[in-house]
């Protein structure tokens, strides 16, 4: 999952980046409104974390511009201001959530999870057939037996699961899971798909990841009932 942090205080930005990367997010950062907006407009993120007070373009303005372009990416606003008008103003200008500094990292994480799960079922865990992923504990299960995955394997599977029933193109996968923004003729994806399939098959979740030739991969619930 790929996040963008727009925050001018290097301390906070660094702290967030580090913490979120430990949680296996792919994190980009920007230190002012303009460059942040640029990044947000030219790349595809799964979530934006934007500080209200930014040099140049304000966080609200960034948020508004992003929305104006039709982009529905979830936005969490980070702020020291907490008067009623501020909260309402922020939410009405496109933010999905609002968190007041100083905040605890755990709470931010929980709120990020909420925003990311909205696309899916409404339960934190991701399910497809027998397979179940728990993004909080970074565990995968097939039925009751745990499947041990490496971090990259988990990230890839998580991305596929969060986009269950949608095609994940190779370029999106390489962007969201590997955070690579340029063309490259690597075959890491193939290799990791092989890894995953091997482990899933061994655990009993067969045929879950399907290839769409020339496009990418997709996870589809088996339609046998």
Of 168, 166, 165, which Cα lies nearest the Cα of 177? 168
Instruction: Return d(Cα 13, Cα 16) in angstroms, integer.
Output: 5
214 binds DNA, rule: CB under 7 A? yes
Q: What is the DSSP string of 162-224?
A: HTTTS-EEHHHHHHHTT---S-----HHHHHHHHHHHHHHHHT-TT-EEEETTTEEEE-----
CB closer to a second copy out of 55 and 145: 145
176 binds a second copy, rule: CB under 8 A? no
Contact with DNA (CB under 7 A) among 100, 117, 197, 220 = 197
41 binds a second copy, rule: CB under 8 A? no
CB closer to DNA out of 134 and 194: 194
Of 100-159, binders to DNA (CB under 7 A) are 150-153
- Beta-carbon count within 10 A of 145 CB: 11
Q: Which does 145 bind (CB under 5 to 8 A by kind): DNA, a second copy, none?
A: none
Q: Which does 88 bind (CB under 5 to 8 A by kind): a second copy, DNA, none?
A: a second copy
- Beta-carbon count within 10 A of 70 CB: 6
Contact with a second copy (CB under 8 A) among 34, 100, 166, 197 = 166
**118 secondary structure, DSSP code:** T
CB closer to DNA out of 87 and 188: 188
109 binds a second copy, rule: CB under 8 A? yes
Of 56, 36, 45, 53, which Cα lies nearest the Cα of 3? 45
Q: Which does 94 bind (CB under 5 to 8 A by kind): DNA, a second copy, none?
A: a second copy
202 binds DNA, rule: CB under 7 A? no
Burial of 124 (0-12, 13-18, 19+ CB in 10 A): middle
**Quick one: tokens of 187?**
């075959």
Q: Kindly list the strands in the beta sheet with 26-30, ordered across the sheet, starting from the edge strand earlier in the chain.
A: 26-30, 2-6, 47-51, 75-79, 97-100
- How many residues line the site for DNA (CB under 7 A)? 23
Strands 216-219 and 168-169: antiparallel
Sites of contact with DNA (CB under 7 A): 150-153, 170, 178, 184, 186-188, 190-194, 197-198, 211-216
Question: What residues line the site for a second copy (CB under 8 A)?
Answer: 67-68, 70-72, 84, 87-88, 91-92, 94-97, 104, 106-107, 109-111, 113-114, 118, 120-124, 136-138, 150-151, 165-167, 212-215, 218, 220
């Amino acid at each position: 999952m790929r996040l963008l942090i727009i925050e001018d205080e290097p301390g906070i930005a660094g702290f967030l980046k580090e913490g979120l990367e430990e949680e296996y997010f792919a994190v980009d950062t920007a230190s002012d409104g303009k460059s942040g907006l640029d990044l947000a407009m030219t790349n595809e993120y799964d979530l934006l974390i934007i500080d209200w007070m930014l040099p140049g373009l304000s966080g609200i303005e960034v948020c508004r511009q992003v929305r104006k372009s039709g982009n529905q990416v979830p936005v969490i606003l980070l702020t020291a201001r907490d008067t009623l008008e501020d909260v309402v103003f922020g939410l009405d200008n496109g933010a999905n959530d609002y968190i007041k500094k100083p905040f605890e990292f755990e709470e931010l994480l929980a709120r990020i999870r909420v925003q990311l799960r909205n696309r899916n079922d409404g339960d934190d865990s991701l399910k497809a057939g027998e397979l179940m992923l728990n993004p909080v504990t970074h565990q995968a299960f097939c039925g009751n037996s745990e499947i041990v995955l490496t971090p990259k394997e988990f990230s890839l599977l998580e991305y596929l699961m969060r986009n269950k029933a949608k095609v994940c193109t190779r370029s999106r996968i390489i962007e969201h899971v590997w955070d690579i923004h340029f063309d490259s003729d690597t075959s890491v994806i193939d290799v990791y798909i092989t890894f995953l399939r091997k482990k899933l098959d061994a655990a009993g979740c067969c045929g879950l990841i399907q290839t769409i030739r020339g496009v990418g991969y997709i996870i589809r619930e088996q339609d046998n009932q």
